[in-house]
């Protein structure tokens, strides 16, 4: 039931993000926008909007009132399951939706913009960088969802991404931890080399924030 409920409550977010991503891909093709910039924008948008995990619940229908959302949250908390299990189920659903959307949009970009990608290895390496970056952002946003409402979660998640980008642009991050460098100037699409150190760093960051979020969910009295 938890799996079905999580899917029903997040499917409209996934649908809206798929539509927004498709529009960005089409605009990138028509305006010859950089594939790297498009990939970063897509990953940030999809990840942040799908990362409302923890015990927060969403509407099962588009445009439903906030009162309905509150009722859904109370119903979820009344179920005979732990908050940790609810969080884990919703996190897995969100991660799967995020990964599926990013994969679909990456394939669409590859098919529509074939001249920008020289080989399958470069495409897979770039996808690995984007997915690892997205999981790190997802984990940060999930952690914020445990003590912020939806609006503040999105704002603070955006500020976190901007802050990391600022540190990257000012060269204040160690090279192996600078995921933005691997997304832009050292992308596999440009260097034809997969930056495994940055990918591992992003994955470790994601694990740390997911673990912190799970501890908060278990200990905090909602």
Counting DSSP H helices and E strands in the chain, the numbers are 9, 0
Higher pLDDT, 209 or 222: 209
* For residue 60, pLDDT beyond 50: no
Query: Per-residue pLDDT tens for 15-47?
Result: 877 787 777 777 766 654 455 566 666 677 777
Angle, nearest 10°, between helix axes 83-112 and 2-31? 30
pLDDT of the residue at 204: 92
CA–CA distance, 38 with 132 (Å, rounded to integer): 16
Q: Which long-range contacts (CB under 8 A, 24 or more apart) does 144-153 make?
A: 145/51, 145/52, 145/53, 145/54, 145/56, 145/213, 146/54, 146/55, 146/213, 146/216, 146/217, 146/220, 147/216, 147/220, 150/52, 150/56, 153/51, 153/52
The whole-model pTM stands at: 0.79
Measuring CA to CA, how many Å separate 186 from each of 74, 109, 125, 158? 47, 19, 11, 23
Query: Per-residue pLDDT tens for 43-54?
Result: 777 777 777 655
* For residue 163, pLDDT beyond 80: yes
Mean pLDDT estimate for the chain: 75
Query: Per-residue pLDDT tens for 93-118?
Result: 888 888 888 888 777 767 766 555 66
Domain range annotation of the chain: 2-219
């Amino acid at each position: 039931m938890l799996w079905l409920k999580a899917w029903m409550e997040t499917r409209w977010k996934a649908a809206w993000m798929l539509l927004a991503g498709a529009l960005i891909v089409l605009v990138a093709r028509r305006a010859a926008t950089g594939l790297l910039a498009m990939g970063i924008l897509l990953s940030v948008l999809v990840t942040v909007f799908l990362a409302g995990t923890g015990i927060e619940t969403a509407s099962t229908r588009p445009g439903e009132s906030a009162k309905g959302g509150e009722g859904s949250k109370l119903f979820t908390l009344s179920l005979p399951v732990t908050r940790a299990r609810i969080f884990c189920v919703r996190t897995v659903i969100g991660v799967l939706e995020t990964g599926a959307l990013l994969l679909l949009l990456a394939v669409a970009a590859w098919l529509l913009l074939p001249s920008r990608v020289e080989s399958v290895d470069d495409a897979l390496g770039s996808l690995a960088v984007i997915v690892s970056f997205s999981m790190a952002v997802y984990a940060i946003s999930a952690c914020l969802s445990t003590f912020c409402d939806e609006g503040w979660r999105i704002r603070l998640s955006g500020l976190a991404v901007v802050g990391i980008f600022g540190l990257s642009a000012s060269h204040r991050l160690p090279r192996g931890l600078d995921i933005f460098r691997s997304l832009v100037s050292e992308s596999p699409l440009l260097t034809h080399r997969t930056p495994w150190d940055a990918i591992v760093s992003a994955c470790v960051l994601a694990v740390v924030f997911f673990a912190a979020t799970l501890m908060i969910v278990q200990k905090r009295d909602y």
